[in-house]
Chains A and B, each alone.
Chain A
């Protein structure tokens, strides 16, 4: 039963991390890249505005950082809960 509780706590922590990552994922692409573009259009980047940069370059860079951060964070979580390989 203690095994089950530990894996339950592990799973809840994993879900929390996933939600954080998905929020950032949505913010940079659907947010700054599309829906919120008019709000950040005052910030000029290289002949256009911040939203254009996020849509054509920024969101891709953020995606990469997100995946590696998630991978590193999960490796730590795996060790903390004793479920690493």
Chain B
């Protein structure tokens, strides 16, 4: 059976499973549509949250980001998991006790203001729409790579599938589909990682293999990797090279951004009790950690395998310079050897490229730039090198090409394809639900037509879901130029607007309407202005006022880290403005008192 048929069967089976679940779990009421009738067990919700949260970026890109930077990008690992501690301690139990359906609804009720609620809706829409574009693009790319259909056909197939289970099932359908998608994606991620950890270190668990011994050289794996990359003039893998302040701020921005993402928060509305919301955050992190502790092993081992492919001498020997004990891989091998078929496969996608610049028939991969590049000078003279000859290595191929690099059976490749789709589709569905809830519940029922019947609202929710899928698909087909920058934008906005306003709403009785509104505006505007100053106004290239380099950044703070500062500005402005204006009304103080104690959350179901 050829690879294409295998991919078709595995992906087809996974889709049949998702649709089967959707038909079985149709939503019949708004409570089922928005919150799965608050009947999801904490473990199930944890699993669904993990799938909801882990997007194409976690599945495909993160290991590559770590592979080529090493220690400095640990920020992603800590930042994207530490946010769950904040959710469990500071937000999830209280918002569950509040017992309503959307994040802007809490903002509107707690700050007794339609304006605050509408600002919340706008933040939610900007965050979720920018985020969903990335997922839809991911779906299109995966389809076109593995099913040999065009990018746009792939996107429409993905959109039709999401339409089936999200519009029919709402939160209830999405929850149980996400549980299935989690299982698919975690299997797809860990199986190749286990094979590779076995091959390199003899450990079955990638988590222990990372800190284990490299079999071929007898050295510790990470020490071996450090030696190989420094031989070739790259910065050492385990070393700290970036600014400490920026690392701290970036990690914090990712953490509070994660805790402020509306599509993650609404997942905690589905559990029966307040105590379940706390435990559920723990379960979510357990399931996320299964992937996040494998990712650094995948990254480092993929980096090692790639380097050892280019320099066969890198495998044995432990002393500095032993990488050059054998010549680099030859052009003839890359073009003909069966075990290097994967390089030719990925060359056709444009994500991997090489060029024999000095015409010696060998492809030398190295770095000569910066202080790290100094050790390579001797080899440059000895081998007459004219520049690095592995000209293109895209971060994203580290996960996707892994099974091919390690020569794993065809069904593993098919499962990885299904896993990538599961990661993108599950996140897209969660985002679309957050969007449709904000439109039908906060805009239509909350502002435009408060007298709408439950049946009418359910219909409106389905229509807005369908429209959002259409909009997301069209944006996915023609991704705006800023698609790559959206992570900074989404996390920056979530960190600087939604997280602080929710936290103050729960932990302070003094923050009032004016404080919340001015705080949110100050947080959002300062973050947007900072990002646009370096990335260009509305991400239009050439309109940036300062060049986006570390030397120009204010105190060395990168635009992606600025969400932390935006959050601090939000807190400070809200505090000052609230204390200068009147106290919140007594019924709002009673609301805060009531969300602080768990008893009575069950009764909130039929509000």
Contact = CB atoms under 8 A, between A and B. Distances in A.
A57 B593 contact: no
B222 A46 contact: yes
Interface string A65-80: 0111011001100100
Interface in B196-225: 207, 210-212, 219-224
A25 B85 contact: yes
Interface size class of B (residues with CB under 8 A): 35 or more
Interface in A34-85: 34-35, 37, 45-49, 52-53, 55-57, 59-61, 63-64, 66-68, 70-71, 74-75, 78, 82-85
B275 interface: yes
B486 interface: no
B78 A67 contact: no
B479 interface: no
B279 interface: yes
A85 B601 contact: yes
A24 B289 CA distance: 18
A55 to B, nearest CB: 4
B286 interface: yes
Contacts of B90: 18
A64 B223 contact: no
Nearest to B224: A47
A71 B210 contact: no
A63 B85 contact: yes
Given A11-B596, A57-B296, A61-B289, A74 B275 contact: yes
Please classify the interface of chain B as helix (H, G, I), strand (E, B), loop, or mixed, using the class held by over half of its residues. helix
* Candidate in A7, A34, A53 with the most chain B CB atoms within 10 angstroms: A34
Nearest to B42: A71
A68 B207 CA distance: 21
B84 interface: yes
A63 B212 CA distance: 23
B293 interface: yes
Interface residues of A, number: 42
B598 A78 contact: yes
B585 to A, nearest CB: 18
A29 to B, nearest CB: 5
A48 B282 contact: no
A18 B89 contact: yes
A46 B221 CA distance: 8
B274 interface: yes
Contacts of A29: 78, 82, 251
A71 B292 contact: no
A71 B71 CA distance: 31
Given A29-B82, A68-B282, A85-B273, A34 B602 contact: no
Given A18-B90, A21-B89, A63-B85, A10 B597 contact: yes
A33 to B, nearest CB: 6
Contacts of A68: 279, 282
A7 B78 contact: no
Nearest to B594: A7
Given A25-B85, A70-B88, A55 B219 contact: no
B240 interface: yes
Given A46-B212, A46-B222, A67-B88, A75 B240 contact: no
Contact of B282 (A61, A71, A75): A71
Interface of A: 4, 7, 10-11, 14, 18, 21-22, 25, 29-30, 33-35, 37, 45-49, 52-53, 55-57, 59-61, 63-64, 66-68, 70-71, 74-75, 78, 82-85
14 contacts: A34-B251, A47-B220, A48-B222, A49-B238, A55-B71, A55-B74, A60-B285, A63-B81, A63-B84, A67-B285, A70-B89, A71-B279, A83-B599, A85-B599
4 closest pairs, A vs B, by CB? A46-B211, A47-B220, A55-B74, A47-B222
Given A48-B226, A59-B82, A67-B285, 6 more contacts: A18-B89, A25-B85, A34-B244, A34-B248, A46-B212, A60-B81
